[in-house]
Every structure is written in C-alpha cells, then in structure tokens.
Chain A
C-alpha cells in the first residue's frame, strides 16, 4: 500500500487515480487525523452504533426491572440512574448525531457532487468534541451517576448529588459538536453543490439536512446557555432557577424546551431525509411532490421553534398561552402528514423491491403514522392534562425517536452500506432483522400507550399491580426488539468479514450522484468531473429525459 499513498501524494498534477477511501492512506493514525468527510462519517457511525448498544442494554435492564411491581433486580436509586443514563445516551449520543453526523457526513457531499464538506477540519474537531462529550457523560458513573432524568429539571437537578454538573457540561460540549456539524452542512449546501445543481435539483436528503442544520444552529446555543446557567446554579447558587433565592424553576423548563423541542425535529427531519432517498430508489419511481416535501421540511424546522411550551401545559401557564402553543403545535402535524402521503404516492404504481432498506422504510411509514397521530393527543390541551408525564408520552416519543428515527437510521445504514464498504450484506437475514425490529418495537411500546392512558406515570420504579400484565408484554417486546437489532448488527458485521468483492457502483439502481462513483468511493469522491444528466429521482429512460430537456429546464 506504500506505493498507493505515495502515488496520491505526487500524482496530483495528473488526472490522478485515488485509492479506495477506506484504504488510502492506511493506518489508525491516518483515520484519527483524517479530514475526509466519509471517514469522519464512518467514525461517527461506529461510535453511534456503540452507544446505541450501550443505551439499548440499559433499556433492557430497565424493562427487566419493570417485570414485577416491586424490586426485581436493582434498587430505586439505581433505577433512576439507569433511566437517566439511557435517556442521555440515546438522545445526546445516538439520535441527535445519528443520521446527521454519521450518514449526513458520509452522504451529503456525495449527494451534492462535492469533494468534501465546506470545513473539513471543523468537521474532525466536531467529532472529537463528540468523543469528549461522550467520555464526560460516561465519567459521571464514577461520580455516582446522575439521577435527574435527561431533562435536568430544576430544582431537583440543583439539589441532588452525583455527577450532574459533569453530565450537564457533557451535554454542553455535545451541543457544540452538533452546532459545528450544522454550520458545516449549511455552508456546504450553499457553496459546494455540483456545477449546474440548482436548489430544486438537490436530493431531498440535502433539503432535510439543511433544515436540520438550521435548527442545530438556532436552538443549540440556547441549550448551551441554559446548561451553563444550571452549572452556575449548582456551583455558585446564582439564584435564577431557585425559588428560595427569588428565581423561578419553571423558567428552566422554558429555556430547556426552547432547545429541546426543536431538537425533536433535529431527530425526525434527518429520518425523513433518509426515507426520501430510500423510497424512490426501491420504488424505481420519481419522488411525488418534490417541492411539497422540501418546503415542508423547512416549515417543520421553523414551526418547531414556536411550540416549546406544549411541554408545560400542566405547569400552570395562562389559558391564553396554552391555547397559542397548542394551536401552533397542531400546525406542525400538517407538513408531517403531507410528507407521509407524498411517500405513499411515490410507491403508487412504482416498481417496488422489498430489500432490507425498503422494509425499514415501510416500518418507518407505519410507525411514524402512529407516532405522529398520537402526538395529537398530547397537543390537545384537554387530553394532554390527563396524559402528560404518563407512559403514553413515553410510548409516543419512542415511536418518534426510536420507531421513526432509529429505524430510519437503520434504513440509511443498510442503504448506503454497500457504498460505504463496497460489500453487500445478506439481504434475507437483514430483512428478517428488520421485521423483528418492527414486531418487537410495536410489542414493546403499544402496551405502554394503554398503560399511560390508564394512568401509569413515567419514571416509576414501583407500580400498582394492575399494570403488571402490560409491563410484562412490554418487556417481552423489548427482547424481540433487541434480537432484531442484534441480528441486524451481526449481519452487517458479517458482511465485513467476507473477502472484498468488486461491487457494482449502483447496486440498488439509485439516481442520485453517490451511485455514480465507485463503491467504496475514492478519496476524492469523484474521479471525473460531474455532469448532471438528470434530476435526482428521474427514472425515465435516457432518451426520454433528453427529449424533455427543453421543457423542464
């Protein structure tokens, strides 16, 4: 391999042939210092998968504890620490960076026909911030853990012991990692689109990523300052959130959700991004309503800033404020519904191939339908008063964050896997994994809706015996879900053990630019200059496209 890397170093003047980005240059050091967006994306992906396993094992432990109404395995203090860590790991280390930082980093420049993101070094820096934040979060275990829940509500979080300060600082650092990714993506989309690629010729993935980045930039700083205020409150007792010192604990909730509600859309928009790529490819049909999908992404991003207080309907806000926030929340349902119908219409009269990524995408459509519609219960004032802080909410946000986001992440990983590694996994087994994930997920969380509407509050260690049946169903579901996820992971890893094959550039028949380069791509993504010959989802035969050229352009 020595000669390959030297060829790259000296061969710059010629129409250089670069090696496969995974191999060129070789060595751990070259990976740790890489500024290649694909490698950074891959490093993010493995980190995210690692933390998904960690967070998942914590979830299994929680579900196991909830098998019986009283103590099963662990103590109440331990339980509180475990659910806090599960939430923090899954939100800050898996879901928020999942699709944007892992798949986005890998795919966004390729989809745009760019050589890299706009600021490659900032990109690497953002990865190291992520690693730092992750290590800080894990170090809280050494300080006795954190038992506040991932929401850090005051005044509980300012009075309890353990590693709260460190965990909050970890979230702060992770926030900056997320901001830098957002800055990078917006600058990339603005300046590095392939020559001739207009805004409406971008793949929809890029639109969604752009919308996500907008939220990352506009909301995360507010989280940053909120968390700093919380640290100040703990360390110095500055008084802003402490009622005994003249502060207001509910103010923290407003600050927190001003970030964290938009952050929910940081979690769902990237999922929509992946689905908008997978469905046309496996339906072999152009996306239905391109502009509607693109604009609804932006609409969701912007509306997402106006709804934060719907987390506080029971905290005693004024009637008027409650009405406004409820009304605005309902508004968001509309662009989400439009997207779902557009995706289904894309499948209509297509040529549908049910490979693993498509099975995940269909799971997404079904679970996002449930996740979205159950949001109506919580947006509506009267029903939210009953359901707030019950298992209904737990089930609802798991349908959105896990059922939709994680499933979309898996769809994306399976979709781009051959592009990433130049190897194909066993599609049959991967599809079985996808089906198990769908079954297990619903078995875990459907019972939780019923528990919640019957009054089971969330974050309960002990519970009334009347809820035990539903809890047992949910725990069994979690085992099915886990077996599906582990099967999926095993199938992917097994594909890497196989000897390398000469994989086709375009195994799925996609029409976006990443399929026009080698699998895996070379270090500089594209060896030939990019010529856009068709739109991102144009499946017409070449002659037809050429004939219509005058009409569409």
Chain B
C-alpha cells in the first residue's frame, strides 16, 4: 500500500482526490474521460454485434419477425422509453448541480435517476413475466402455440438477449449511481471535483441511447 499513499501529499495544494501518479486534476480528469469514452466505444461495439446479428436474421426471416413482434406491448415499451429519457434529463441535472456546487440538488437528482431506473426495471419485469407466461421464450424454451409463421422464436431469442443485456447495463448503472449517491451524501462533489458524476452520466446516456435504438427495432417493425 505504501506505493499509493507515499506521494499523496507531495504538493501543498494537492487535492485529496488526486492520485499519486498524476500531477494535476486536469490531467487525471482527462485520463478518466478518455478511459470512459473508450469504454463506451467497447459497449457500442458489444451491442453492435447483436444489432448486426438481429439485422441479418431479420432480413432472412422478415415475416417471422413481423408476426412475432405483435406479441410485444407497445404501450409498455413507449412508457419505458419515456422513463429512460426523463432519467437522462435528471442525470444531466445532477451533473449541472455538481458543477454549480449545489450539493443538495446533486443528491436529489441522483435519487430521482435511481428511482427512474428502478421504474424501468419494474415495467420490464411485468413485460417479461407476461412473455414467460405465454411461452414466448428464447431458443429451445419457446413453447408458444399457434404460430402461423415458422421461426418466430428467433425474434424472441434476440428480444431476450438484447433487452436482457440492456437490463444488466441498467442494473450496473443503478449500482454506479448508488455509489455516486453515497459519495454525494458525504459531500465529495462540488464545483472543484465532479468528474465521477460526469462520467457515470456519460455511461447512463449511452444506456438510454441503446434503448432508444432497441425500442423501434423491437416494438415498431412495420
């Protein structure tokens, strides 16, 4: 541990949040920002693979995909889209509050964002349990009766893989937001230091954006 602690107080005005191998906060923030953007790139590519797979399977089974998507509940999907869009807004507000040093507002907006994320998962839970009940499950677990077009299970394979992976990302976002909330309650974030809020915000917008692509792709095939 000596390596970490040793240089922490090298300069007189060194911020307590500055790690020993950086010389100034700007440098540390730049590094973190580059790191986060690169991470987001990998996330886009991860989902990109699924989107390409979906596109290819959709192109080879257009009728099956069209028939299958009628089982999805557009109202719930639209509701979730709105929930996530609002949560993006509250996230932006949390970052802004930190940047103008309004520490209480940071806490408020983080709580709102976490609640909205939770709401998204609750809606998703109802959608999933309805599908489970109807036997609209991926791959070999697909037991739904009375399909007119063969291959509909392919649609549900992708539906569950893509919304499932997205759901895991929402969950990870909630964990990150809760961590932020803990630090915000401690009063860590203010005009001088709010990098983590900013970066988790970036991640959260990406999670929203992926949903904005998923929604029309899954719910609005025409």
Contacts and interface: CB of A to CB of B under 8 A. Distances in A.
Interface of A: 5, 8-9, 11-13, 16, 18, 24-25, 30, 33-36, 114-120, 122, 179, 182-184, 186-188, 190-192, 217-218, 220-222, 224-226, 228-229, 232-233, 236-240, 245-248, 251, 255, 523-524
Contacts of B30: 190-191
Interface stretch (B71-79, B96-104, B134-142, B174-182): B134-142
B56 A225 contact: no
A119 B43 CA distance: 19
Nearest to B9: A12
B31 A187 contact: yes
Candidate in B22, B49, B140 with the most chain A CB atoms within 10 angstroms? B49
26 contacts: A5-B2, A8-B3, A9-B2, A9-B6, A25-B2, A34-B3, A119-B35, A120-B21, A184-B35, A186-B34, A187-B31, A217-B38, A221-B43, A221-B45, A222-B45, A222-B46, A236-B141, A238-B138, A238-B154, A238-B157, A240-B53, A245-B154, A248-B60, A255-B49, A523-B2, A524-B3
Which 4 residue pairs spanning A and B have beta carbons closest together? Answer: A225-B49, A238-B157, A236-B139, A237-B140
Given A225-B49, A251-B56, A524 B7 contact: yes
Interface in B5-60: 5-10, 19-22, 27, 30-32, 34-35, 38-39, 41-43, 45-50, 53, 56-57, 60
A232 B3 CA distance: 43
B187 to A, nearest CB: 23
A247 B34 CA distance: 38
Contact of A240 (B46, B47, B57, B141): B57
A224 B49 CA distance: 9
Nearest to B50: A225
Nearest to B7: A12
B145 interface: no
Which interface residue of B19, B27, B61 has the most chain A CB atoms within 10 A?
A: B19
Contacts of A25: 1-3
B161 interface: yes
Interface string B133-161: 00000111100000000110110011001
B222 interface: no
A524 B21 CA distance: 8
Contacts, number: 157
A155 to B, nearest CB: 14
Contact of B45 (A36, A116, A218, A245): A218
A232 B138 contact: yes
B31 A118 contact: yes
Contacts of B4: 35
B38 A183 contact: yes
Contacts of A187: 31-32, 34-35, 38
A329 to B, nearest CB: 22
B214 to A, nearest CB: 15
A217 B42 CA distance: 6
B9 A221 contact: no
A18 B10 CA distance: 14
Contact of B5 (A12, A183, A191): A12
A217 B49 CA distance: 14
Contacts of A225: 45-50
A16 B9 CA distance: 12
Interface in B52-90: 53, 56-57, 60-61, 64
Contact of B49 (A34, A222, A232): A222
B27 A239 contact: no
A218 B48 CA distance: 11
Nearest to A176: B42
Contacts of A245: 139, 151, 153-154
A355 B10 CA distance: 41
A114 B9 contact: no
Nearest to B4: A35
A139 to B, nearest CB: 24
Contacts of A247: 57, 154
B61 A246 contact: yes
Contacts of A190: 30-31, 34
A523 B32 CA distance: 23
Contacts of B3: 8, 25, 34-36, 523-524
Contact of A239 (B7, B10, B21, B139): B139
A221 B46 contact: yes
A165 to B, nearest CB: 14
Contacts of A184: 35
A175 to B, nearest CB: 10
Given A9-B6, A220-B42, A246-B154, A238 B31 contact: no
Given A12-B9, A246-B60, A239 B154 contact: yes
Contacts of A122: 35
A30 B4 CA distance: 12
Nearest to B53: A240
Contacts of B64: 246
Given A187-B31, A218-B41, A232 B60 contact: no
